[in-house]
Structure 1
């Protein structure tokens, strides 16, 4: 019986990619906290994962090694964050505290997903080796 790695860890690998993209976007928000006119962006996790599931079922195949490899893009789920603070006059709506909290939350979820994947991989290795060793 063949083991499907995509079925075993596919969702979680995509979740890691979306969370990584989100942390990069939040880092960009923090880096532009003092840039006049900058609008804070975020990624809607649910929308990004739905897009990833759709892409999985409708993926393009390459016929040549020189073709550009497709990468899951979270750009379908990019949105502007609704500001919680009034405009300071320069058009920038980045709330540094909100961004830091979102970055930390996403980082913890990223680590939890990695730990979950490690457990799945350890279980698979144990099944392959017949329960011997680790």
Structure 2
């Protein structure tokens, strides 16, 4: 019997890809914290999840599809809590907190994926 990795691994590979893409967006915000007129961006998890669910429902047998979200409208501008005089909407503390939260979520998804692989290895070895 063949192993279907899409079913065996679940959403975890897609979650890792989402976290990588969000880390790139947040790192771009942090890199431009002093750039006049730069607008902070973030990827909305809810929008990506909704889009993935609609793809899952519309596809027959295809897992979740690729998670290439940087051009489909899920990247949104962040509304700053306090306006700056130079038009930059990046708030250093907010971006650092979001980056740390995203890194923690990445590690969590990676741990779940690692457990899935260990379970598959045990099943293959007959344990």
- TM category, shorter: 0.7 to 0.9
Evaluate the alpha carbon distance shift between residue 122 and residue 3 of structure 1 in structure 2; reply closer, same or farther with a 3 A threshold: same
Cα distance in 2 for partners of 1:35, 1:5 equals 44
Task: Tell me the alpha carbon deviations over residues 75-102 of structure 1, each in whole angstroms, 9 at most, x when there is no partner.
Answer: 43111112112x2211101000000000
Structure 2: unaligned runs, 5 residues or longer:
60-64
Spell out structure 1 runs of 4+ moving beyond 2 A. 49-59
Q: Which one of 90, 113, 119 corresponds to residue 117 of structure 1?
A: 113
TM normalised by structure 1 equals: 0.80
Q: Is the 8 A contact 2:14 2:66 kept in 1?
A: no
Q: Say which structure, 1 or 2, has more relative contact order (CA 8 Å, 6+ apart).
A: 2
Evaluate the alpha carbon distance shift between residue 73 and residue 58 of structure 1 in structure 2; reply closer, same or farther with a 3 A threshold: farther
Q: Which has the larger radius of gyration?
A: 1
Aligned residue for 1:76, secondary structure, equals coil
TM normalised by structure 2 equals: 0.84
Displacement of 1:54 in angstroms is 3.8
Report the RMSD for the aligned CA atoms in angstroms: 1.8
